[in-house]
Structure 1
């Protein structure tokens, strides 16, 4: 969900909040779902930290694509408490070495998943319209 995914891949947000823990450590692709968190986006657009209300210093040119992979980061720990101003969950996945990648459309799923980059199936051909024989020879 944006703007959270963009904040991670641009190195602004250093923790991902979840209601569940993980033992996974290592690189993960960052997926932005198709929806926006409109309230958070309003704050970010106004250079306001959406959690603390403090000023937020974003890099220039941040974009917020949805519905695909937007970057990569490393999860290096999972904690129950953190001094990070971004921590608001039951668990926090500590993130480092985040960076944006060229956008790749990809359907999301809950939890960790292997992305499916296969293109959507082509549209089914439409059935040919039946034209009465008499219509073929009209002038």
Structure 2
């Protein structure tokens, strides 16, 4: 299955209601994609993201979940989302880039450690099998 790396806390935000992923490049890809939480994240990036998210309703949800810059999942697969379009304009509060991947139907998954890559990349199906 295809995956895309996203820095935290943006990956968490996608799984909790952020409906656009901003990129400097367009895609024709449509369909379900795994969300990979990048390993790297500075405290300044963490603060900047939450400052941008003010008023979105996500900050209280993160606080209630006990989410911090120290315990947020990084360096692996954290969920999936459907990419339904790639646009250059959007009314979404989350759209700020050159291109925006419009997202829907986020599904958190149990954390799976995995090394990310640039662009879309493949994750072997056998890693996604959940034990009964």
Give TM-score, length-normalised by structure 1.
0.72
1:49 positional shift? 4.5
Residue aligning to 1:50: 52
Give the length in aligned residue pairs: 113
Specify which of 10, 15, 28 is matched with residue 16 of structure 2: 10
Note closer, same or farther for the CA distance 1:107–1:118 as it changes in structure 2 (3 Å cut): farther
Structure 1: unaligned runs, 5 residues or longer: 120-139
Partner residue of 2:34? 29
Change (3 A) 1:118 1:37: farther
What does residue 68 of structure 1 align with?
76
- Larger relative helix fraction: 2
1:79 to partner: Cα distance? 0.2
- After superposition, the CA RMSD in angstroms is 2.3
For the residues of structure 1 that align with 2:73 and 2:24, how far apart are their CA atoms?
25
Q: Higher strand proportion, which one?
A: 2
Q: Is the 8 A contact 1:25 1:74 kept in 2?
A: yes
Structure with the greater relative contact order (CA < 8 A, sep ≥ 6): 1 or 2?
2
Give 5+ residue unaligned stretches, structure 2: 1-6, 128-132
